[in-house]
Structure 1
Amino acid sequence: MKRISFVIPVYRNERAVTMTYHHIRQVCTGDLKGYTYEIVFIDDGSDDGSLDELLGLRARDENVRVISFTRNFGQMAAILAGFRQASGDLIVQLSADLQDPISLVPRMVAEHERGSEVVVCHREHREDGLSSRLASRGLYAILRLSFPQIPAGGFDYILLDRKVLDAFNAVDVRNRFFQGDILWFGYKTTFLPYTRARRAIGRSQYTFAKRLKNSLDAILDSSYLPIRFISLVGVLTACAGFLYAIDIVYGRLRHDIPFTGWAPIMILILVIGGLLMLMMGIIGEYVWRIYDEVRGKPNYVVRNVF
């Protein structure tokens, strides 16, 4: 009998994890009763009662496994830890906040039975706020230049065949963009749209800093576009400067127009200086990621596995 592993990162979700567990168990003992299951919760250094709730579930159900981090390492680290602990033939990754409909899992499994190796549930409509939706659309518009098949709103809710997970786990890098990695492998993929519900319990822990970090990881890990952008801006700036110099010389020789005032020079200095600072920042991000990779620190530290 095949086994399904549910991988669920948890951070300050003490009010939602028990309901998430019951929804999963209801599906597994109903539509998916032909499969065995395990639920792998990863407590990402929560400072509320999330870990106690998870240990209570573990005490009542031997199919529940709990991984506890020493501190908060971030959602991607929690997903990586869960993927490495999952033992199932199929792996489903979803959030613990009840925004992803667990009722979709039977459809995902059915697509896998029809031959799909990756089943992506993508957010066709979001009940999130306007600013969150606009930021997400802007990010994925950039990413689709490198991954045309990536859905406009991205995805986190996904089913993987065992061989896909093994391929993913074989790549041990930091600051990774797991959505891009999954699509890059090229396995047969099916996309299922759904409407992501507004958070009903608790509040989002996805801060602006985390969004910015994840966005930079996504762009820099999966695309050469920032480096190409630097080259293009350099060429355009050089051409603009050359044309401006020709215009000044032509005006001086043919029309006796004096070149007076510091304003044009200051504008050029500020514009070019700003562009140089931007380009140095982009290069700095790449250099930091190289340094972060070669120093060999782990993505996370596990305190206990229950």
Structure 2
Amino acid sequence: MAGSRDATASATHALPIQLTVVVPTLNEVGNVEELLRRLAVALAGVEWEAMFVDDGSTDGTAELLTGIAQADRRVRLIRRVGRRGLSSAVVEGALASTSPVVAVIDADLQHDETVLPKMLAAIERDGKELAIGTRYSAEGSTGDWDAGRLRISQFATRLASPIMKTRLSDPMSGLFAVRRDVLLEAAPNLSSVGYKILLDLVASAHRPLAVVEIPYTFGTRQSGESKLDNMVALEYLELLLDKSVGRFIPVKLIQFGVIGGLGVGVQLALLYLGYDALQLPFRTAMIMAVIGAMTFNFTLNNVLTYRDRQLKGAKWLTGLLSFYLVCSVGAIGNVGIGSLVHQQLGGVALSGIAGAIVGSVWNYVASGWLTWTRR
């Protein structure tokens, strides 16, 4: 009993954590130990913890961190199953912390950890709500980026300007610190889409934030592979859409509609191929074209619109069959509503558009529930 009381007393008198550093990871086994070493040096004199959020690493990252955390109480680990995404990982890590200030840094060693004490001081001492590391200042630098990557980043920054309540020189930055209460205030409005959690934060906050920008030089990845791929651009556009029109129209519905429009083109092309080029009977060519268009729509929606619920293997086939069923019912609704509008109001264009809208909305809602349902 005496030993238990001593342990409780020791824990009670431990200094409170000043800073939680959230580190999203996915296959970063070669970097985490070096990152922790650098954090220990940079944050000497600061009561800190590192909150690693792992999205199903297969290279031993989570196992390595588990061993480290058992020996070092400053290291904590959240293992996520069936969920991925840097932004949502950051949000989960921040919500699991209790410190008054939360910082975010990548595990790939490309961010400069030595600016973290400046960020903490700006928030604790100077009363700032948000401190960001910027690559776009006189003292900052994008490092060894080529001209093409720099132009893309600058263009993305300009696209973000209309949705930002707080003006930032580098809203794409993944290195920043924020008061935890500010993040909690914005949390219900966060999209948690893609990689740009800082942009999501300043677009979701109810007001402009008191911010300071601290220059740093973007480094070079030392180990592992970059997580940037073609999906990053799509996720960025999704975030911009969500913060601009998402309150009126779901972003997935917009994506579903765009893919449906492409599907119309596929259907017409297949109809021409079957009827004119292959000389098939019109009914046969039409059936082939409709099935082809539905297959095209399903495949693209599976990869893009519902990639967070993407169907693979046997589930892909059952999902395709359920999508056929949903779209068949949608086609009946399309024809029925179109005919009703034509009877009541006349006008071929108006009737066709009304039927198409009803059919599309049905397909979107029903396929989200039946085909890409979350179980």
Which band: TM-score by shorter chain?
Answer: 0.5 to 0.7
Identical amino acids, percent of aligned pairs: 19
**Partners of 2:68 and 2:133 in 1: CA distance:** 27
Q: How many residue pairs get matched?
A: 233
Q: 1:150 to 1:89 in 2, by over 3 A?
A: same
2:328 matched residue in structure 1: none
**Partners of 1:204 and 1:129 in 2: CA distance:** 16
1:178 maps to 2:197: yes
Q: Please give the secondary structure, in 1, of the residue aligned with 2:216.
A: strand
1:10 matched residue in structure 2: 25
1:105 matched residue in structure 2: 116
**AA at the equivalent of 2:199:** G
1:21 maps to 2:36: yes
**Contact 2:131 2:213 (8 Å CA) reproduced:** yes
Q: Please give the secondary structure, in 2, of the residue aligned with 1:119.
A: strand
2:60 matched residue in structure 1: 49
**Partners of 1:207 and 1:62 in 2: CA distance:** 35
- Give the counterpart of 1:190 among 179, 187, 212: 212
**Cα shift at 1:222:** 2.3
**AA at the equivalent of 2:142:** R
**Partners of 1:68 and 1:90 in 2: CA distance:** 22
**TM-score of the aligned structures, taking structure 2 as reference length:** 0.56
1:116 maps to 2:138: no
**Cα shift at 1:4:** 0.8
- Give the counterpart of 2:153 among 136, 142, 158: 136
1:150 matched residue in structure 2: 168
1:39 maps to 2:35: no
**Partners of 1:206 and 1:69 in 2: CA distance:** 20
1:77 matched residue in structure 2: 88
Measured on the aligned residues, the alpha-carbon RMSD in Å equals: 3.1
Tell me which protein shows more strand as a share of its residues.
1
Q: 1:23 to 1:117 in 2, by over 3 A?
A: same
**Partners of 2:190 and 2:228 in 1: CA distance:** 24
**Cα shift at 1:72:** 5.3
2:238 matched residue in structure 1: 217
**Partners of 1:150 and 1:46 in 2: CA distance:** 33
**Contact 1:120 1:190 (8 Å CA) reproduced:** yes
Alignment of 1:243-262 (within 5 A): none
- The C-alpha deviation readout for 1:150-178, integer Å capped at 9, x for no partner, is 32562111111121122133436553763
Q: Which runs of 5+ in 1 are unaligned?
A: 228-279, 299-306
**Contact 2:90 2:197 (8 Å CA) reproduced:** no
**Partners of 2:119 and 2:86 in 1: CA distance:** 23
**Contact 2:22 2:50 (8 Å CA) reproduced:** yes
**Cα shift at 1:55:** 1.0
Higher relative contact order (CA 8 A, sep 6+): 1
**Contact 1:137 1:153 (8 Å CA) reproduced:** no
Tell me which protein shows more helix as a share of its residues.
2
1:160 matched residue in structure 2: 178
**Cα shift at 1:54:** 0.9
